[in-house]
Amino acid sequence: MKNKIITITFLIIIGLMFALFIVLPDTDLSYFERRRLAKFPTELDSEKIDDYLLDQFPFRNGFIKLNSLINRNVYGKLDTNNVYVVGEQLVDKLYPINQKEVEGFVNKMNYIWANYLQSSNVYYSIIPDKAYFLDVNKYLKADYTKLYNDLKQINGSYIDVTSVLTLEDYYKTDIHWKQENLDKVVKALMPNMGNPYIELEYVTKTYEDFAGASYSKAGGVVPKDKITYLSNYIIDSAAVKHIEYGEKPVYDEAKLKGVDAYDVFLSGPSSLIEITNVFSDTTKELVIFRDSFSSSLIPLLIPYYNKITVVDLRYITMDYVEKYVQFEGKDVLMLYSLPIINSSTMLKVNVK
């Protein structure tokens, strides 16, 4: 009798789930998982149908969260999908370091220096990932002593920003740093690049519903973040031109409702951007080789330069960059985070 009750209950649950699956409308976008969900395929393809059924399954987000809670509280795992849950902080586990990728990164930076930057003022800095700040006796994380020693082989003047950062300077649900905490990074960079530090006032705007990339991977087990971005008349008046899609504002507020609200900064991924400071009283120019971390930092650098050219080698080849950018006499900053250094093959530099 007991087995019969269990079987009937199970069938009722399956029936209810199937009914909900039919009744509920399909969802186009998962803000929880930061991606577009599969739609019912126009052709009968078993793999595409499986993707559709998985993506549109009722209460999908709840099951993802439940799985994360079971992994940590029942099985005692420190991470879920390679994300540590440290209080309300979600920290991506970037371990181990791929030595070949690190060497490739150094070679690519030095190739750029040797072939394009001999007449430039070259600086570089490394952005540590959040795991840098965790207890090495409890969590697996990179050997930063060795990593930083390896990166000292890069030609150019190294500027330390690691020492001014803390875990609280990063979003709780995302790998990126918070723009409102980056004035100390500006203060570390600018004097070492020949620019007196300028104390500026900002107007702040806040988006209250930010769930970063780590949020869904960890199962949504912590509160969401907020994004605060800083404006003043210099930033708001800057002329921003992307080679892909033309003129855009510094802060693209339409992106706040997209898959990744962090794209509010400089409209997200873009191969090459030219930013002109219309209030500039200097002729100095900056070229910055960057990844996504720089998107939130660059607006704070606008007051220091007449023009900033932003290059993202994940989306444009170095051979193509030289058609757009003249480097002679300019400041050049190579600013990269550990996720890119540890996956340097994605940088489109053909070392010859």
Count CB neighbours of 157 within 10 A: 13
Helices (H), 196-292: 213-217, 233-237
Cα of 352 vs its chain's centroid, Å = 29
Segment 238-258, tens digit of pLDDT: 999 999 989 999 999 999 988
Once rounded to an integer, what is the mean pLDDT over residues 51-67? 50
In terms of pLDDT, which residue wins out, 19 or 308? Answer: 308
Helix, strand or coil, per DSSP, at residue 244: coil
Whether residue 20 has pLDDT greater than 50: no
Once rounded to an integer, what is the mean pLDDT over residues 102-111? 98
Segment 266-304, tens digit of pLDDT: 999 999 999 999 999 999 999 999 999 999 999 999 999
Structure tokens at 276: 């002109």
Once rounded to an integer, what is the mean pLDDT over residues 104-109? 98
pTM across the whole model:
0.83
Which amino acid makes up residue 181? N
Contact in structure between 197 and 303 (CB atoms under 8 Å):
no
Structure tokens at 253: 């507020």
Contact in structure between 306 and 284 (CB atoms under 8 Å):
yes
pLDDT at 50: 52
pLDDT at 219: 77
Segment 148-178, tens digit of pLDDT: 999 999 999 999 999 999 999 999 999 999 9
Whether residue 61 has pLDDT greater than 90: no
Helices (H), 92-232: 99-116, 144-151, 183-189, 213-217
Nearest to 303 by CA among 165, 170, 177, 202: 202
Cα of 228 vs its chain's centroid, Å = 15
Once rounded to an integer, what is the mean pLDDT over residues 186-208? 97
Count CB neighbours of 209 within 10 A: 12
Whether residue 209 has pLDDT greater than 80: yes
Give the confidence band of 80 by pLDDT, cuts at 50, 70, 90: confident
Structure tokens at 24: 């509920």
DSSP bridge pairs for 122: 332
DSSP bridge pairs for 333: 123, 288
Crossing angle, helix 99-116 and helix 144-151, to 10 degrees?
A: 20
In terms of pLDDT, which residue wins out, 1 or 231? Answer: 231
